[in-house]
């Protein structure tokens, strides 16, 4: 079975631009969460979507938004990019919304903002 | 969610047991202890979790003290592939919300 997939693998953007990151969960998983990992730190929670509805939001500005599609894949959008948005963006999927112990993470998208 | 404290780094000889401690002195009665690890350039990987009883699976054992204020993750026979950052996370299971709060973790280096 394929694991969580994310695209693109790497991305370079300029300050002020917009970026869209994509995530495909494991087949059958209905919950998708997004995390930001800055170099040297642990991942920080951004969003969780379950059954296409937002179920949780971390402490991130409104420039960050996300959505989940009917096939349970998800997009993370970041507007007006700042240098500080440079990070590894991780997507995690789980079978049900409340089962945090079995979250399966993708390899991440490395975003560099110049 | 309760805060956790872990050593910044540890070394372990290959083939020996790796014991990774975690302090969570403010843990509440309904909060579980979870362990994830992150191998370089990969996403985090779930290892094990427990409430108050010791737990064991194919990857590791989790020992939780009786007062639940600390725990130890044990990798019984560490291999080079176990070199990673290990995160101890304490949270309550809440229906509809499965966000995880990672700290900075313990960087475990397995030495040949």
Contact A107/B41, CB-based, under 8 Å? yes
CA distance B51 to chain A (A): 12
Chain B residues with CB inside 8 Å of A48's CB?
97-99
Give tens-digit pLDDT for B15-68: 999 999 999 999 988 888 999 999 988 899 999 999 998 999 999 999 999 999
> Does B11 score more than 70 pLDDT?
yes
Please report the sign of the dihedral spanned by the C-alpha atoms of residue B33, residue B62, residue B8, residue B102: negative
- CA A103 – CA A85 distance, rounded (Å): 24
State mean pLDDT over A8-25.
97
- Assign B91 a pLDDT band (cuts: 50, 70, 90): confident
CA distance B30 to chain A (A): 14
* Residue B32 to residue A101, Cβ atoms within 8 A: yes
Minimum distance, in Å, between the CA of residue B91 and any CA atom of chain A: 9
d(Cα B49, Cα B27) in Å, to the nearest integer? 14
From residue A34, alpha-carbon distances to A50, A79, A98, B77 in Å are: 12, 16, 15, 33
pLDDT at A99: 52
A89: helix, coil or strand? strand
Compute how many other C-beta atoms are within 10 angstroms of the C-beta atom of residue A69: 13
What the block records as the tokens of A63 is: 């420039």
Question: Can you say how many angstroms the Cα of residue B15 is from the centroid of all Cα atoms in its chain?
Answer: 19
Query: Which of B9, B59, B89, B98 should we substitute to test contact with A (largest number of A Cβ atoms within 10 Å)?
Result: B98
Q: What pLDDT is attached to residue B41?
A: 81
Strand partners, A47: A34, A57
Alpha-carbon distance of A6 to B90, in angstroms, equals 27
Q: Taking a C-beta distance cutoff of 8 angstroms, is the pair B69, B3 a contact?
A: no
Determine the residue of chain B that is closest to A50 in CA distance: B96
pLDDT band at residue A51 under the 50/70/90 scheme? confident
Checking if the pLDDT of B99 tops 80, the result is no
Has residue A69 got a pLDDT over 90? yes
**Angstrom distance (rounded) from CA A3 to CA B101:** 22
Nearest CB to A90: which of B32, B43, B101? B43
CB A80 within 8 A of CB A74: no
Nearest CA in chain B to A104: B45
Partner-chain contact A42 B87, CB within 8 Å: yes
Q: Is the pLDDT of residue B95 over 80?
A: no
How would you write A1-58 as a 3-class SS string? CCCCEEECCEEEECCCCCEEEEEECCCCCCEEEEEEECCCCCCEEEEEEECCEEEEEC
Beta strands in chain B (DSSP E): 9-13, 18-23, 31-38, 45-50, 55-56, 61-64, 70-75, 84-92, 106-111
The per-residue pLDDT for A6 is 97
Cα angle: A109, vertex A30, B45; to 5 degrees: 50
pLDDT in tens, B53-79: 899 999 999 999 999 999 999 999 999
Say yes or no to pLDDT of A43 above 70: yes
pLDDT at B92 over 80: no
Distances, alpha carbon B27 to alpha carbons A27, B32, B70, B72, B90, in Å: 34, 8, 9, 15, 7
Average pLDDT over residues A18-41: 94
pLDDT of residue A103: 86
A59 compared with B92, residue with greater pLDDT:
A59
Confidence of residue A61 (pLDDT cuts 50, 70, 90): very high
């Amino acid at each position: 079975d394929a694991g969580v997939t994310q695209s693109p693998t790497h991305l370079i953007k300029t300050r002020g631009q917009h970026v869209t990151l994509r995530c495909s969960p494991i087949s059958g998983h209905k919950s998708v969460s997004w995390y930001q990992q800055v170099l040297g730190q642990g991942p920080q929670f951004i969003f969780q979507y379950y059954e296409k509805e937002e179920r949780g939001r971390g402490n991130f500005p409104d420039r960050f938004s996300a959505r989940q599609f009917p096939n349970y894949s998800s997009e993370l959008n970041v507007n007006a990019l700042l240098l500080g948005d440079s990070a590894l963006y991780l997507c995690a999927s789980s079978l049900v919304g409340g089962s945090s112990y079995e979250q399966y993470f993708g390899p991440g998208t490395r975003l560099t903002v110049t | 969610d309760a805060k956790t404290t872990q050593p910044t780094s540890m070394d372990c000889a290959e083939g020996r047991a790796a014991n990774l401690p975690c302090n969570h002195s403010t843990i509440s009665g309904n909060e579980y202890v979870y362990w994830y690890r992150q191998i370089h350039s990969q996403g985090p990987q779930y290892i094990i979790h427990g409430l108050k009883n010791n737990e064991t699976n194919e990857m590791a054992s989790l020992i939780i003290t009786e007062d639940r204020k600390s725990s130890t993750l044990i990798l019984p026979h560490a291999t080079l592939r176990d070199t990673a950052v290990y995160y101890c996370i304490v949270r309550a299971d809440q229906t509809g919300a499965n966000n995880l709060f990672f700290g900075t973790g313990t960087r475990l280096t397995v030495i040949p």
